[in-house]
Structure 1
């Protein structure tokens, strides 16, 4: 999690934006991100230049030789008005046109980006503040982004809310992305799942960067993210690029509509789709309604995930608890579809405080593989009670944390077969789930052990009450004698 020192630095920069009249949190994040990106570009360029000198070969950088002054390390030391002129008139147009590929995510979402920092003095203060933030560590970048996004006062548009980074990381570690995967988040937001998947691959499959085909795949054809909020798309595209993915496929798309024609395309879906209530049938892709005729987005997204995955593709997504036990025809239909026609592997029930302070909704993680031919045998359930943070609005770090246990047990499911229903995790046979109307709520199957409490005989208890009563009367008499 973010350190107090880094938090204070960001708060100070945020305050500078506010005093400059930029008060919309997403606008602040956008402008903040542009400057972080400009600084990051210069740092990456410097590293590559140093490597070229060390290895003795020529390096042609992204900054033109006659415009070295537009690099962060150069303009940050200039007088405020000169700096403002260079950043607004040269640096900003430079990053907007950085990618020659007109179809790249970066070019598309930077095309309508606007530099809105109002004065040279405000820019100078912000540049000084950002210059003091260490950006070389990828974890620091992630923490910084997490904290910036946490400052969005509302729960987001259309009922979306941020997924905590430690939950994203857990889901990625459960799914173990491979260098050959094609990964999508159809409700990408700031691209948190895609960034985490990229980081997992860097940490666990670093040799992929030594194989030209896999390296090309990582940078160009591995990561896909869709959203309908252009601000979040811009932030997501820059987030991916800052985390070393050269050309992420971050696109403007309403995933549930007819414009999304993706079918049998991806091998891994990681998502926390919005639970924004109801949509009209006429704005939803017709083939999604065939699986479950519903207006509820959380059910429609599950239908979408099944359609988008290749056979053998895997999905880990967050759903509100109602998806697991809802009694409507559509709720049962989508659960039956996943259980009967594909392979449902796990349901991880999360406590309601996980998304506080943004929402108090109870959620679960559902993990399944698209087979098209069934395969569900035993479904693994886990009752997460703690995630390493207090479950109130403050979300302070605590010692109790089930996440390491969840990852360890999911990676060793053969050892779970003998677990009892009174344990925190256990298997439930598919036939039992079918008999329970495809109910997937953990409380349906969990057994609670009640300890037998032995009480004293009633006559003994009455005797003790009389003794206490006698003491009270004696005390009252003593008080009366004192008056």
Structure 2
């Protein structure tokens, strides 16, 4: 959590962008991302050079003595943040615009570098030398403050704080699933060291980051002290796709600031034939787009075979089933309409999950969870791909509170069902005897099938009606008469006081 002086410095940096004319929060974070890439490249190069010197190994700096940029050959050292940040504002600006950005964009011809991969179509948008000078000075102060803090993941926290500003920026908030909801889903799924994890609509990579943090916190020995597992974690475990290049860049940076060196994050329309993935992933975590409507001709044909629809929320469920390995698990957020929609496509995808795979849980969330930028009611579906059924009973939970008020302000409150949801999900044997009047309970597959595969909790939850006893009518009327007398007496007293004046 970013607090105190560091938070103040980040807010000041944001203010520099804002007052300088960059008011779109996505543009601000994108430009900060570029500058963090450039600064980190210098730091990483210095670190590798020191390590090589200590081990007596040769090391070729990326800032070699001479660097070819276009038709010009320049001294590579001028491209280092630690060198150009001392230049006068005008020279720093021209160096950044004419040399540093082209250098970063073409850092590796084969595009293997994670840095160059996400910088390949970067555009330098900072409008004036003075503004760049202020930004570079402010970023140096932030890095200095971060180096003084000994917490393990200050960099990640800083980036999360920047991303949180998207949630307060109106329409751009659609890119962010609330962090505590993401964490709850990851805690329920308990990622393993050998998982291959995917989010086919990754945005800022919130789910992938949370999964990486879970492994760091709970499987440190297994992941980081095993060469094969660590290599898998750094290079092959995390996969994310999106159709917004800005979000891809921000998502990739988010992963890197949380310690994943080479996440596989790329531009892809997951629902089209651009996405060939079949039976590839062991865990999918996602909050796919709602309310989208696509033309049939751009949707992959094998998804339409499962449910012929233009609705993105249904097509993504079909996609998850296709992308998962047999035995692979999925936790995804869906709008409530998916649970009870009566169209042929709605029923088809629910039947596919219940009859041909294993649906494990449906967690119904209150409509305020995605406020202030959306008031839609949602649920979390958890299922395992089997290809041959396996659903015997489904666990339902009626979430009523998530630790924040359910209005637009979303201020912290004491009521929070999330710890209870995670605890009950991991001890489902204790749920067997629960009644339908309680907050969670099981429903058999047969009952779900008999109800057209309706998965809305209200279909199965029983409401306890507690009789309320009222006093006799004569007693109520007597009370009203007495109140009327008291009001009359008070009015007389008031009128008397006014007449005496």
Cα distance in 2 for residues equivalent to 1:148 and 1:438? 40
Cα distance in 1 for residues equivalent to 2:348 and 2:424? 30
Alignment equivalent of 1:329, drawn from 301, 320, 344: 344
Answering whether residue 426 of structure 2 is matched by residue 411 of structure 1, we say: yes
Which residue does 1:269 correspond to in 2?
284
TM-score (norm 2): 0.87
Deviation per CA, 1:219-268: give whole Å up to 9, x if none.
Answer: 22211111111221222222222322222211211111122111111111
Cα distance in 2 for residues equivalent to 1:285 and 1:271? 19
Which residue does 1:318 correspond to in 2?
333
Alignment equivalent of 1:457, drawn from 468, 472, 475: 472
RMSD: 2.6
Cα gap change, 1:60 to 1:325, in 2 (>3 Å): same
Structure 1 unaligned segments of length 5 or more: list them.
none
Structure 1 residue 366, shift from structure 2 partner: 0.7
- Are the equivalent residues in 2 in contact too, given 1:161–1:358 (CA < 8 A)? no
User: Which secondary structure state, in structure 1, belongs to the residue aligned with residue 137 of structure 2?
Assistant: helix
Cα gap change, 1:13 to 1:151, in 2 (>3 Å): farther
Structure 1 residue 356, shift from structure 2 partner: 1.3
Which residue does 1:119 correspond to in 2?
128
Which residue does 1:33 correspond to in 2?
33
Cα gap change, 1:20 to 1:180, in 2 (>3 Å): same
Aligned residues: 479
Which residue does 2:161 correspond to in 1?
144
Cα gap change, 1:349 to 1:142, in 2 (>3 Å): farther
Cα distance in 2 for residues equivalent to 1:199 and 1:48? 25
- Are the equivalent residues in 1 in contact too, given 2:159–2:257 (CA < 8 A)? no
Structure 1 residue 122, shift from structure 2 partner: 0.5
Cα distance in 1 for residues equivalent to 2:108 and 2:94? 23
TM-score (norm 1): 0.91
Structure 1 residue 52, shift from structure 2 partner: 6.7
Q: Which has the higher contact order (CA 8 A, sep 6+)?
A: 1
Cα distance in 2 for residues equivalent to 1:62 and 1:56? 16
Alignment equivalent of 2:483, drawn from 462, 468, 476: 468
1:372-451 equivalences in 2 (<5 Å)? 372-451=387-466
Structure 1 residue 463, shift from structure 2 partner: 2.9
Structure 1 residue 462, shift from structure 2 partner: 2.9
Cα distance in 2 for residues equivalent to 1:26 and 1:3? 22
Which residue does 1:173 correspond to in 2?
187
User: Which secondary structure state, in structure 2, belongs to the residue aligned with residue 132 of structure 1?
Assistant: helix
Deviation per CA, 1:131-178: give whole Å up to 9, x if none.
Answer: 23245524413422422433544247xxx5421122112211111111
Structure 1 residue 102, shift from structure 2 partner: 2.3
Cα distance in 1 for residues equivalent to 2:401 and 2:314? 27
Structure 2 unaligned segments of length 5 or more: list them.
66-75, 147-152
Higher mean C-alpha deviation, range 439-448 or range 449-458? 449-458
